[in-house]
Amino acid sequence: MKTYSESSKKAPDSLLGRAYSHIDGADQDNLSDVPGIEELLRRNADLWLGCDMAGQGVHGRSTGYPKLDDTLPGRGWPQNGLLEIISPQWGMGELQLLIPLMRSVIEQGQWILWISPPHLLYAPALIQAGIDTDQILVVNLDTSCKDALWSMEKALQTKNCGLVLAWQTWLPSKVLRRLQLTAENGDTLGILFKRRESKYSPSRISIQIRSSASNINSFKEAEITVVKARGNFQPHTIQLQLYQHHACI
C-alpha cells in the first residue's frame, strides 16, 4: 500500500435503409433479432426515464449483492461518473458495501486511489478480503484541499485507475459537476462519501446507508436506501447482510 501527499453511436446504414424500403419475408426474419426501442433505452445509462426502472437494464457492474443489483437501474454500479454514499457517521458499512467492487478493480489489474480516508487503512483486513494493497494509493487526510482535488481529477483521467474513493464533504456543486464530466470522459468511477445528501448533486447515484440495529457498534445488517439514480425517480430501501460473505474492513 502506497501513500501519495461515448461518443454518440451512428445507426448502421443498412438498418436506416430498411426503415424506408420494402421489407420482404426474409428481411422481417432478420429484423426480429434487432433490439426493440425499450431495450435500447435501458442499455443507455445516460438517459433519465420517467418511470420506475429498478433492476432493469444491463449497463451496470454488479455490486456483489444480488438484492442491491435488483434495486439499481442497470442492475449494478454505474460504469463511470460519480456515485455518492451518504452515512451519518463513518464505519456504518460503507466500505464493506464496496468490497466486491474493489476486488473486481484489483483483479483487472487497475489501482484504487483513496483520498483523505478518516482512518488509517487496515492492510490485513484488505488482504483477507482479496484486495492487493500494492494496487492502492492513499492521499493522506492532512493533504490540502487543493492537492486532494488535483489528485482526484488526475486519477479520474487515468486509464490505469479503476476506482477513486474520496471523503470530501466540502466540494461545491460546480466542482462536483466538473468531476462528474471528468469521470465520464475518463471512463472511471469515483465514489464520494458524504455526511448528508446534496439536493442538486450531479452524481449518477446517491445511496444512504444506516444501521438496522439499535446499537450501531454491533450491527450486522444495514439499511440501504437508493435516494437518487439516473433512470429511477422512486427511492428504494432494502436490508442487506453486509458481513455475511466478505471479510470485515
Q: What is the pTM for the complete model shown? A: 0.74
pLDDT at 241 (0 to 100): 86
SS3 193: strand
Domains of the chain, by residue range, sit at 39-241
CB 195 within 8 A of CB 39: no
Does the pLDDT value for residue 138 go beyond 50? yes
Going by pLDDT thresholds of 50, 70 and 90, the confidence category of residue 110 is: very high
| CA separation for the pair 77, 55 (Å, rounded) | 11
> Cell triple for residue 34?
434487432
Rounded Cα gap, residues 193 and 190, in angstroms: 10
| Among the listed residues 186, 181, 188, the one whose alpha carbon sits nearest the alpha carbon of residue 203 | 181
Region label for 109, one of left (φ > 0), alpha (ψ between -120 and 50) or beta (otherwise)? left
For residue range 7-29, what is the model confidence (pLDDT) as tens digits?
444 444 443 333 333 434 445 45
Residue in the block written with cell 439499481 = 72
Residue carrying the nine cell digits 501527499: 5
Angle at 127 between CA 75 and CA 158, to 5 degrees: 60
The 10s digit of each residue's pLDDT in 32-63 is 555 665 555 555 545 544 444 444 445 679 99
CATH of domain 39-241: 3.40.50.300
Q: Which of 45-54, 78-87, 192-201 has the lowest mean pLDDT?
A: 45-54
Q: Cα–Cα distance between 60 and 129 in angstroms, integer?
A: 22
- Give CB contacts under 8 A, 24+ apart, made by 183-186: 183/80, 183/81, 183/82, 183/156, 184/80, 184/81, 185/157, 186/80, 186/156, 186/157, 186/158, 186/159
| Helix, strand, coil percent values for the chain (each to nearest 5) | 30, 20, 50
Q: Which residue has the cell 487496515?
A: 122
